[in-house]
Amino acid sequence: MLRPNFHRLPTTSRWIVILGVTATALGFTFTFNAGLNAQIASGAAISIVVLGLTWLTGWSGQISLGNSGFMACGGYFVGVWANHHAATPLVISLLFATAAGALGGLILAVPATRLRGPYLAGATLAFATVTSSLVYVFGNWTGGPTSQLFLNSLTTPSWFARMFSGIQASLNSSAQYGADLAICVAAIAFLFMSNLFHSRLGRAMTLVRDNDVSAELMGINLRRTRTIAFVIAAALGGLGGGLQTLLNGSVTPGSFPLTISITLLTLMVLGGIGTLTGAVLGGLIFAVSSNVINWLCSTAGISSTSNLGTNMQGIVFSVLLMTTMLIAPQGISGNIVRGYRHLMQRFTSKIDNSPA
């Protein structure tokens, strides 16, 4: 698998790159309007979930269609907890969301690590279906199928709000604070995973993915390694779902539909399977996707409230997934690296062939 040179950088250099990208993104939020900052915040939350999926699929070789279930675990735990403990610090809420997602991943991993291929995909899809059904079963906590849990845990600090003035000062400060928070949380997740990708566990994951027989001969416990991969991916899914719930200020049964699992898979493939860069690109694509889909519906004369309009995102991402797998299986990041290497080879050959 073709991977960007970013994965070959030493730890210090990777951290510098991630912190540099984070600082640049935070700087851009000061120039965006409230609507665009809200989209950036949602994209940052989704990039965390895509990061977990790229770890599970790209690094350990396991497929999952149940990431909407992991997001629901984190999202609903934050929603239910905030309704009973409104004064819980934001960091604690996000840690609880991460733990809820990890617990869901552990429950799924116990039977799923025995399966491979389409059977594993089916089991993860069944998990997502069961998770959405639990909303109805525990209606006293979740509010039931038609209710909406509201929470007000994401309050803009006064020191941050004072930087804004004008008629829409409150709206702009709230949107930018949400975007900055989501970017910082995503940066922490990427810093953690950048080390994990290159740790002993990360190397064991790739060996299990490439040749499980060789991995077992080298003393690697296959079930434990695959279980850890599921738990980490699910924890990131729970973190992304919890963060998105905090940003939206509410959670409903429709917040994490099954179609989002296909969307996440598409974003991972578009960005580049098994790469940190691909997860970032996936989040950016998701951030701008709503504007693109709205433009498509407007151009085609499709009502956004119609049956076709409400399912347009799933249709577009499904088409993109199939097209990318056929035309550019390495994703955007892989094709950028391939183009860069091609240009460097041409440049080097011209220098070598130039007259002295």
Do 81 and 96 touch, CB atoms closer than 8 A?
Answer: yes
Q: Percent of the chain scored above 90 by pLDDT? A: 30
Confidence at residue 1, expressed as pLDDT on a 0 to 100 scale:
47
Confidence at residue 62, expressed as pLDDT on a 0 to 100 scale:
87
Domains along the sequence of the chain with CATH? 5-286 (1.10.3470)
Model confidence at 316, pLDDT cuts 50, 70, 90, reads confident
Do 74 and 239 touch, CB atoms closer than 8 A?
Answer: yes
Model confidence at 50, pLDDT cuts 50, 70, 90, reads very high
pLDDT(4) > 60: no
pLDDT(108) > 80: yes
Over residues 293-304, the pLDDT tens digits come to 888 888 888 887
Mean pLDDT of 100-112: 90
Mean pLDDT of the chain: 84
Phi, psi dihedral angles at 47 (to 5 degrees): -60, -30
Whether this prediction's pTM lies above 0.75 is answered by yes
Q: Burial, 90: exposed, middle or buried (Cβ in 10 Å; 0-12, 13-18, 19+)? A: middle
Confidence at residue 355, expressed as pLDDT on a 0 to 100 scale:
60
Mean pLDDT of 281-288: 91
Total length of the chain: 356
Residue/partner pairs of 194-199 with CB below 8 Å, 24 or more apart: 194/11, 194/14, 194/15, 194/18, 194/276, 195/11, 196/55, 196/232, 197/7, 197/55, 197/59, 197/276, 198/7, 198/11
SS (H, E, C) 22-71: HHHHHHHHCCCCHHHHHHHHHHHHHHHHHHHHHHHHHHCCCCCCCHHHHH
Confidence at residue 2, expressed as pLDDT on a 0 to 100 scale:
44
CA atoms of 347 and 113, how far apart (whole Å)? 47
Nearest to 293 by CA among 39, 65, 25: 39
Confidence at residue 9, expressed as pLDDT on a 0 to 100 scale:
57
Comparing 56-60, 132-136, 351-355, the range with the smallest average pLDDT is 351-355
Mean pLDDT of 351-356: 61
Do 60 and 208 touch, CB atoms closer than 8 A?
Answer: yes
Confidence at residue 315, expressed as pLDDT on a 0 to 100 scale:
82
What letter would DSSP give residue 296? H
pLDDT(86) > 90: no
Beta strands in the chain (DSSP E): 149-150, 250-251
Nearest to 222 by CA among 201, 203, 208: 208
Higher pLDDT, 144 or 104: 104
